[in-house]
Structure 1
Amino acid sequence: MLRLAAAFALMANTAFADPDFWKFEWPDTDFTVTTVDNWVEILSGGPPKDGIPAIDDPTFLNVSDEDRLTPREPVITLELAGEIPRAYPIRYLMWHEIVNDEVNGFPVAVTFCPLCNSGITFSRRTAYGVLTFGVSGKLRNSDMIMFDRETQSWWQQAIGEAIVGELTSFELVTLPSWMESWSEFQARNPDGLVMDQPPFSRNYGANPYVRYDSSNRPFLYSGELPPHDIPALARVVRVGDAAWPMIRIAEAGEITENGVIFTWAAGQASALDTNTIGEGRDVGTVRVRDADGNNLAHDVMFAFAFHAFWPDGAWMIAR
């Protein structure tokens, strides 16, 4: 079903492979400034601008007061130095994709692109001021294109870089965050905070992309598949411009390479497997630290997305 929908979407978008078409929907975006060479790469994912509503004013519960989440459900964890740790449940990010938050005055954007399994946290504080992000409804290489409300520039979520508009080529600062199970967060942070359910009518806790991460091909993607016979939707751990297959880390339990220490533990459900997020197959949790034990910024994304955005990146496959 996903394959058929993707075929129709690709055919429909061929006619719109020109920035002039997007100008009608985005009159305040400067399309004369861009790093996009081939506009056919940008597709409509279906929903219009803000059709997937970002969360701008999240509220939080104490860990002890949360009773909706199941133990293996994934959350994105943000632990800023000196601040109370926060968990952002994927059951909410699945339907909203961006949370614009402030941690004791520090502005952050917690983002999740289901089609790439890419969960990244950015600082919203930039040389151009504090930005607020929304979901454009556009995709490139199956990855969400965000936009900032201040300049209407378009941003590629996977790389944290503006690709269209006034801020083109500007890169956001990526903050260390990671996906882990709710039970892992609970155990480590009994006094932590967890994002409360947003006030929208959504089927929170359900996965609208059933069996997606078992598919042979990504949705709305026509680019090259990964090398080394790595499945397109296999999870890889990206640090900078290098990617380690998750299965390699899981089999070893711990790997130290390039000054990076990876550890893996079972217990986290795939959000993109069964209909109910918390019942997905176990994909485990990977933690990424430097030699001093500091958390490092990274992303656990699908292999096809790494290859699309880092075509010359290093594949850290087993030797």
Structure 2
Amino acid sequence: MRIIAAVLACVLTTAASADPNFWKHEWPQTDFANTSVKNWVEIMSGGPPKDGIPALNDPQFIVVEQESGIAGNEPVITVEIDGERPRAYPIRYLTWHEIVNDRIGGVPVAVTFCPLCNSGITFDRRVKGRVLTFGVSGKLRNSDMVMFDRETESWWQQAIGTGIVGDMNGVELTALPSWMESWDQFKARNPDGLVMSEPAWNRSYGSNPYRGYDSSRRPFLYSGEMPPHGIAPLMRVVRVGSRAWPMDRLAKEQEVSEAGVTLSWQAGQASALDTAVIAKGRDVGSVRVRDGQGRDVPHDVMFAFAFHAFWPHGTWMRGQ
């Protein structure tokens, strides 16, 4: 397994990180006294400093037919908002930026992806009457990205969409329906859709700096409990609320209807965390989640260890 060299070189695992005073020099505007974090040793540096992984604030888009550099099996995060053209956010870019602050029609959104948890969630950026702009703090908790907002410099846990430090402590973001699918699947359904164009940054887009990660025995920078029931820690699960469906079950059954939702699995999406080139990753499939009226439901496709870390009393939907 190869992780970005800078991450390996800069990881801080000393006892100093257990004291919030350790972070104050970097975050002078953050109110560390207002927090839900009970054990500060959970907060670790992932290597890059604040904004060392640069979030995108002004993404550009092109129509589907103009994009020729993305392989058909590469994953994208799809966001469809009523009255607007569907948009695809390629994981080949989100791997290197992790957050895209965008506006779709009248809705300000943050499209987020945490590679270490495989967690891809889209949030409404409107909070308490203001629009927040999110960045990457460089901190991890249970291997999950800690985001921050530039307006209050509060910290937010990406996997749960909740403020954990600062003025926004305890505030929950609204998750919007979005899902990961292959570029081919997006194009087939949305020939008039839009796709985010390549950002103007010097990055090796299309490559995977986390080669072999999702076949590792243990997650990176995670010391918590492993999932129950013999479920591999880096098995993908589909989380809807506090329930998780293992991906191997969905791949076998193809469609599952229970707990008020229908989950449909389709082959054709490459893992972004397997081989050095994303397009050569093994097929992990795509999942769409809808309610009883056929409406898309907010959900996440994350690793089992992350689900167990943030929903320790969650329900594992293993089937018979």
Report the TM-score, using the length of structure 2 for normalisation: 0.97
CA-CA distance at 1:13 after TM superposition: 3.4
Where 1:305 maps in the other structure, the secondary structure is: helix
Matched AA of 1:63: V
1:99 paired with 2:97, answer no
The separation in 1 between residues aligned to 2:8 and 2:183, in whole angstroms, is 36
Matched AA of 1:245: P
Matched AA of 1:66: E
Go from structure 1 to structure 2 and tell me whether the alpha carbon gap of 1:196 and 1:7 turns closer, same or farther (over 3 Å shift). Answer: closer
The separation in 2 between residues aligned to 1:107 and 1:2, in whole angstroms, is 35
The separation in 2 between residues aligned to 1:22 and 1:128, in whole angstroms, is 29
The corresponding residue for 1:234 is: 235
| Deviations 1:60-100 (CA, angstroms, capped at 9, x unpaired) | 00000001100000000000111100000000000000000
Go from structure 1 to structure 2 and tell me whether the alpha carbon gap of 1:238 and 1:14 turns closer, same or farther (over 3 Å shift). Answer: same
Where 1:145 maps in the other structure, the secondary structure is: strand
The corresponding residue for 2:264 is: 263
Structure 1 segments of 4+ aligned residues over 4 angstroms from their partners: 5-11
1:45 paired with 2:22, answer no
Go from structure 1 to structure 2 and tell me whether the alpha carbon gap of 1:8 and 1:55 turns closer, same or farther (over 3 Å shift). Answer: closer
Where 1:307 maps in the other structure, the secondary structure is: helix
| Deviations 1:25-71 (CA, angstroms, capped at 9, x unpaired) | 10000001000000000000000000000000000000000011000
The separation in 2 between residues aligned to 1:307 and 1:275, in whole angstroms, is 28
Residues 1-319 of structure 1 aligned to structure 2 (within 5 Å): 12-319=13-320
The separation in 2 between residues aligned to 1:7 and 1:131, in whole angstroms, is 31
The separation in 2 between residues aligned to 1:128 and 1:44, in whole angstroms, is 31
The separation in 2 between residues aligned to 1:2 and 1:318, in whole angstroms, is 35
Go from structure 1 to structure 2 and tell me whether the alpha carbon gap of 1:46 and 1:7 turns closer, same or farther (over 3 Å shift). Answer: closer
Instruction: Compute the RMSD of aligned alpha carbons.
Output: 1.5
Matched AA of 2:209: P
**How many residues matched?**
318
The separation in 2 between residues aligned to 1:279 and 1:124, in whole angstroms, is 34
Q: Is the contact made by 1:13 and 1:44 (CA closer than 8 Å) also made in structure 2? A: no
Between 76-85 and 9-18, the greater mean CA deviation after superposition: 9-18
Where 1:278 maps in the other structure, the secondary structure is: helix
**Unpaired stretches in structure 1, ≥5 consecutive residues:** none
Report the TM-score, using the length of structure 1 for normalisation: 0.97
Q: Is the contact made by 1:9 and 1:220 (CA closer than 8 Å) also made in structure 2? A: no
Q: Is the contact made by 2:2 and 2:212 (CA closer than 8 Å) also made in structure 1? A: no
Where 2:289 maps in the other structure, the secondary structure is: strand
CA-CA distance at 1:126 after TM superposition: 1.4
Q: Is the contact made by 1:250 and 1:264 (CA closer than 8 Å) also made in structure 2? A: yes
The separation in 1 between residues aligned to 2:121 and 2:284, in whole angstroms, is 18
Where 2:18 maps in the other structure, the secondary structure is: coil
Matched AA of 2:24: K
The separation in 2 between residues aligned to 1:105 and 1:227, in whole angstroms, is 42
